A = this chain, B = another copy of it.
Amino acid sequence: MSKNRHLPADERKELTVRAVVDLCGREDPARITTASIAKYMKVTQGALFRHFPSKEAIWTAVVEWVAERVMQRLDRAAQQAATPLATLEAMFMAHIDFITEHPGVPRMLMGQLQHARPTPARHMVQALLTRYRQRLEALLEEGRARGELRADLDIAAAATQFIGTIQGLVMQSLIAGDMTQIRDLAPGAFRLYCQGIAAPGSASA
């Protein structure tokens, strides 16, 4: 770590991305200006454009950063679990953990999805969620095949519901204005989700 000023480009870029992620935790992403980012980083506004050609490029980098970290967490969580259902639970909790560590992330992703025009960043969010979905569907199918989940399970609906469950928690926390409570609400939410997908008479239901 050099002495703050005059960082190599890579480090400055990284710091910029982290600054935006942090800022999303405390204000509306749509209201984040290049000036506010620069101020938060203790750098002048113009300096940002040494490293990014445009503001949109900053957003793209931020989404890329988040997508990488999220998927990495999900991967790691999935590796340690034995059964499909256990894997789903591990992924669920890993996702919640990530949100508690970076409370601005849901707001950021929602903010990007608001854009009607297909910006690069918005496209990356779509790609991330699509990948996420596919992974969920594969797990759900495996669980159903193993008899761990209901034989008549609607895979697509169950995948949507998984994400929706997290969304519901996020929304609940946004209303309360306190993202930390999501951790306490998560176990109950996942238990309920399980009851909907697990095979009747299974231990987890």
Give CA–CA (A31, B29) in the complex, Å.
12
A144 interface residue (CB < 8 Å to B): no
Considering the chains assembled together, what is the distance between the CA atoms of A171 and B167 in angstroms? 9
In the assembled complex, which residues on chain B have CB atoms less than 8 Å from the CB atom of A185? Answer: 156-157, 160
CB distance from A20 to the nearest CB of B (A): 15
- Given known contacts A30-B28, A114-B111, A191-B154, is B163 in contact with A171 (CB within 8 Å)? yes
We find that the number of chain A residues with CB closer than 8 angstroms to chain B is 50
Contact B192 A114 (CB under 8 A): no
Q: Is A195 an interface residue (CB 8 A)?
A: yes
B192 touches A196 (CB 8 A): yes
**Cβ distance A148 to chain B, nearest Cβ, rounded Å:** 15
Q: Report the minimal beta-carbon distance from A8 to chain B, rounded to whole angstroms.
A: 33
Q: Nearest Cβ distance between residue A140 and chain B, in whole angstroms?
A: 11
**How far is A116 from B108 in the complex, measured between Cα atoms in Å?**
13
Q: Which of A130, A150, A165, A166 has most chain B Cβ within 10 Å?
A: A165
CA–CA, A118 and B113, complex, Å: 22
Instruction: Report chain B residues within 8 Å CB of A189.
Output: 157, 160-161, 164
| Shortest distance from the beta carbon of A108 to any chain B beta carbon, whole Å | 10
A202 to chain B, nearest CB (A): 11
User: A163-175 interface mask toward B, CB cutoff 8 Å, 1 = contact, 0 = none?
Assistant: 1111111011011
A160 to B27, CA, bound (A): 24
Does A169 lie within 8 Å of B160, measured CB to CB?
Answer: yes
In the complex formed, the residue of B with least CB distance to A115 is B28
| Given A30-B114, A165-B168, A168-B168; 9 other pairs, CB 8 A cutoff | A30-B30, A113-B174, A156-B185, A157-B188, A161-B168, A161-B189, A163-B171, A164-B189, A196-B196
